[in-house]
A and B are shown apart, each in its own frame.
Chain A
Amino acid sequence: MRSIIKDGQVVTDSWTVLRPDEAGQLPEAAPERDVIVPFAVWKAAPEAWQNRSGRLAVWLAPDDEPAELAGSLDAFPLLAVDFPAFTDGRGYSIGRLLRERYHYQGELRAVGDVWQDLVHSLWQVGFNSFEIKEGKALEDALKGLGTFSERYHSTWREPEPLFRRRNTRHKTVA
Chain B
Amino acid sequence: MYRYDEVDYRIVRERVEQFRDQTRRFLAGELSEDEFRPLRLMNGLYIQRHAPMLRVAIPYGHLSSKQLRKLAHIARTYDKGYGHFTTRQNIQYNWPALERVPDILAELADVEMHAIQTSGNCVRNTTTDAFAGVAADELIDPRPYCEIIRQWSTLHPEFAFLPRKFKIAVSGSVEDRAATLVHDVGLHVVQSADGEIGFRVIVGGGLGRTPMVGEVIREFLPTRHILTYLDAILRVYNRYGRRDNKYKARIKILVKALTPQGFAAKVEDEWLHLKDGPATLRDEDVAHYASFFDDPAYETLAANLESFGAKLAEDRAFARWAEHNTRPHQQPGYRSVVLSLKKTGVPPGDITAEQMEAVADWSERFGFGEVRVAHEQNLILPDVKESDLFEVWQLARAQGFATPNVGLLTDIICCPGGDFCSLANARSIPVAEAIQRKFDDLDYLHDLGEIDCNFSGCMNACGHHHIGNIGILGVDKNGEEWYQVTLGGSQGNHTAIGKVIGPSFAQADIPLAFEKIMNTYVEQRQAGERFIETVRRIGLDPFKERVYAKHH
Contact = CB atoms under 8 A, between A and B. Distances in A.
A2 interface: no
Given A87-B38, A90-B239, A96 B158 contact: yes
A125 B157 contact: yes
Interface stretch (B273-281, B461-469, B486-494): B273-281
A147 interface: yes
B159 interface: yes
B277 A163 contact: no
B14 interface: yes
Contacts of B7: 150, 162, 166
A89 B279 contact: no
A106 B159 CA distance: 24
A135 to B, nearest CB: 10
Contact of B278 (A87, A121, A164): A164
A124 B278 CA distance: 15
A52 interface: no
B154 A152 contact: yes
Nearest to A96: B158
B238 A89 contact: yes
B161 A86 contact: yes
A153 B279 contact: yes
Which of under 10, 10 to 19, 20 to 34, or 35 or more describes the interface residues of A?
A: 35 or more
Interface in A118-174: 120-122, 124-125, 147-155, 159-164, 166-167, 170-171
B11 A89 contact: no
Nearest to A162: B7
B159 A154 contact: no
Interface stretch (B48-56, B61-69, B209-217, B282-290): B282-290
A101 interface: yes
Contacts of A122: 157
A105 interface: no
Contacts of A161: 227, 278-279
Interface in B111-137: 121
B423 to A, nearest CB: 19
Given A87-B121, A164-B282, A121 B160 contact: yes
A154 B157 contact: no
A117 B161 CA distance: 12
A154 B279 contact: yes
B245 to A, nearest CB: 14
B158 A147 contact: no
A155 B152 CA distance: 11
B11 A163 contact: no
A12 interface: no
B206 to A, nearest CB: 19
A58 B235 CA distance: 23
Contact of B157 (A86, A151, A166): A151
Given A92-B238, A161-B279, A148 B160 contact: no
Given A87-B121, A90-B238, A147-B18, A153 B161 contact: no
A41 B193 CA distance: 54
Contacts of B239: 90, 93-94
B80 interface: no
Contacts of B256: none
B219 to A, nearest CB: 26
A13 interface: no
Contacts of B39: 117
B148 interface: yes
B311 interface: no
B281 A92 contact: no
Interface string A101-120: 10000000000000001001
A147 B155 CA distance: 12
A101 B399 CA distance: 58
Contact of A92 (B151, B160, B278): B160
A148 B11 contact: yes
B365 interface: no
26 contacts: A87-B38, A88-B161, A88-B243, A89-B158, A89-B161, A92-B159, A92-B161, A117-B22, A120-B157, A121-B157, A147-B18, A148-B155, A151-B11, A152-B156, A153-B152, A153-B156, A154-B278, A154-B279, A163-B151, A163-B288, A164-B282, A164-B285, A166-B5, A166-B7, A167-B288, A171-B284
Interface of B: 5, 7, 10-11, 14-15, 18, 22, 35, 38-39, 121, 148, 151-152, 154-162, 227, 235, 238-239, 243, 273, 277-279, 281-282, 284-285, 288-289
Interface of A: 86-90, 92-94, 96, 100-101, 117, 120-122, 124-125, 147-155, 159-164, 166-167, 170-171
Given A93-B238, A155-B157, 5 more contacts: A92-B159, A153-B279, A159-B277, A163-B281, A164-B278
